[in-house]
């Protein structure tokens, strides 16, 4: 993600329709824009819905924004956003919002500072996701793992993954986080992540640990329609497990002749609310029980949301940079025209 959006004001950004176009980028994603010069905060309809407000009822102030944040987290949220603007940087914060009827929902808010042509901060633009289901899943997994006396390492792993993902600002950072967390609780020999390509008809291998070189080369790109575990997991949005004593080639003939780094493997889709954006595959030794599968699926859910969030935030930053480039080009053209007029007037 870019460090800042130079040379574009919040008014120019809003005028180019950034809020509307960004809202269409992902279902259920709210977009906000804060102009620190005027003090005006803009929310799109999705942002109002995330905060339990009817369209057009948000008062457009920063205090009005903070009023929907849970009282226990208001100071922290304000500090994070203020610091990002002051430092001309990005920010991320998870917090609860309280709806008018008392309902509490969890949001993850990401933002990017905006600056003018002189590099002075002028506000921030960002987006928000509802992560209530993720928070509930973390709690449910914690309860399940505690009840079945599974190692506390899994609980600590999910908590560590949540913290790492909140801090990650790139796809590489997100993948590194999940690879690190899955190294200990689950006995894996290999870990790999494929993401949908630009055509959404194939999966590209973006990172792996422990894959045999021949396998990594052969499956660098996977046709989404292929009869392979990862492709099936992604397009059908379900986990595929091949136990160590299972006949993988009989189940998936396309694997014939491919060296395996482990006797068993599991492919878990990386799903947002609306679609699957990739797959997490693990080669494992020993046995995976139901709690292991729940743990990996919960981790994959966290990773999918983090990836979707980062991709959208990067898109917002790129749009802001494009707007800044357009503003600078327009200013340069105006200056050339002014000089040309002065030169003509001098000659005449």
pLDDT under 50: residue ranges of the chain: 1-4, 15-26
Alpha-helical runs (H) found in 168-260: 171-182, 213-218, 229-236, 248-251
**Model pLDDT for residues 182-219, shown as the tens digit of each residue:** 877 777 888 999 998 878 889 999 999 988 888 889 89
CA dist., res. 328 & res. 250, Å (int)? 61
pLDDT at 4 (0 to 100): 46
pLDDT at 252 (0 to 100): 80
pLDDT at 97 (0 to 100): 97
Hey, where are the domains in the chain? 10-132+311-340, 136-306
- Tell the burial category of 50 from Cβ atoms under 10 Å away from its Cβ (0-12, 13-18, 19+): buried
Give the CATH number of domain 136-306; options: 3.40.50.300, 3.40.50.200, 2.60.120.10, 3.30.450.40. 3.30.450.40
pLDDT at 181 (0 to 100): 83
pLDDT at 74 (0 to 100): 95
CA dist., res. 206 & res. 194, Å (int)? 6
Helix (H, G, I), strand (E, B) or coil at 194: strand
pLDDT at 146 (0 to 100): 59
Do 10-132+311-340 and 136-306 show the same overall fold? yes
pLDDT at 77 (0 to 100): 95
User: What proportions of the chain, in percent to the nearest 5, are helix, strand and coil?
Assistant: 45, 25, 30
DSSP string, 115-169: E-TTS-EEEEEEEEEE-HHHHHHHHHHHHHHHHTT--HHHHHHHHHHHHHHHH--
Contact of 30 with 43, CB cutoff 8 Å: yes
Helix (H, G, I), strand (E, B) or coil at 186: coil
Name the CA dihedral angle for 55, 56, 62, 65, rounded to a multiple of 10 degrees.
-30
CA dist., res. 97 & res. 194, Å (int)? 34
Contact of 124 with 84, CB cutoff 8 Å: yes
Q: 10-132+311-340 — its CATH code?
A: 3.30.450.20
pLDDT at 316 (0 to 100): 66
Question: Half-sphere exposure of 48 toward its Cβ, with a 13 Å CA cutoff?
Answer: 14
**Model pLDDT for residues 251-263, shown as the tens digit of each residue:** 787 777 766 656 7
Contact of 301 with 192, CB cutoff 8 Å: no
pTM, two decimals, is 0.56
Helix (H, G, I), strand (E, B) or coil at 264: strand
Contact of 42 with 58, CB cutoff 8 Å: no
């Amino acid at each position: 993600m870019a460090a800042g959006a130079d040379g574009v004001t919040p008014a120019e950004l809003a005028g180019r329709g950034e809020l509307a176009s960004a809202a269409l980028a992902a279902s259920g994603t709210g977009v906000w824009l804060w102009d620190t010069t005027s003090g005006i905060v803009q929310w799109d309809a999705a942002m109002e819905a995330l905060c339990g407000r009817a369209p057009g009822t948000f008062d457009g102030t920063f205090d009005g924004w903070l009023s929907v944040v849970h009282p226990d987290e208001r100071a922290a949220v304000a500090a994070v956003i203020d610091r990002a603007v002051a430092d001309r940087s990005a920010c991320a914060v998870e917090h609860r919002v309280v709806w008018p009827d008392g309902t509490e929902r969890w949001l993850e808010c990401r933002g990017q500072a905006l600056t003018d042509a002189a590099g002075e901060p002028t506000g921030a633009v960002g987006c928000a996701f509802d992560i209530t289901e993720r928070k509930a899943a973390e709690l449910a997994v914690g309860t399940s793992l505690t009840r079945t006396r599974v190692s506390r390492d899994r609980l600590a792993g999910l908590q560590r993954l949540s913290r790492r993902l909140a801090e990650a600002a790139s796809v590489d950072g997100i993948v590194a986080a999940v690879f690190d967390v899955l190294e200990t609780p689950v006995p894996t020999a290999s870990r790999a992540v494929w993401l949908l390509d630009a055509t959404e008809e194939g999966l590209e291998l973006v990172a792996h640990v422990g894959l045999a070189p021949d396998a990594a080369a052969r499956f660098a790109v996977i046709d989404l329609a292929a009869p392979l575990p990862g492709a099936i997991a992604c397009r059908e949005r379900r986990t595929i497990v091949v136990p160590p004593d299972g006949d993988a080639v009989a189940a998936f003939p396309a694997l014939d002749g491919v060296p395996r780094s482990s006797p068993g493997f599991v492919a878990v889709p990386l799903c947002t609310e609306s679609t699957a954006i990739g797959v997490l595959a693990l080669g494992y030794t020993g046995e995976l029980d139901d709690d292991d599968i729940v743990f990996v699926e919960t981790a994959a859910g966290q990773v999918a949301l983090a990836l979707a969030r980062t991709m959208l935030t990067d898109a917002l930053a790129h749009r802001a940079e494009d707007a800044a480039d357009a503003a600078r080009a327009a200013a340069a053209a105006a200056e050339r025209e002014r000089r040309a007029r002065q030169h003509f007037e001098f000659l005449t």
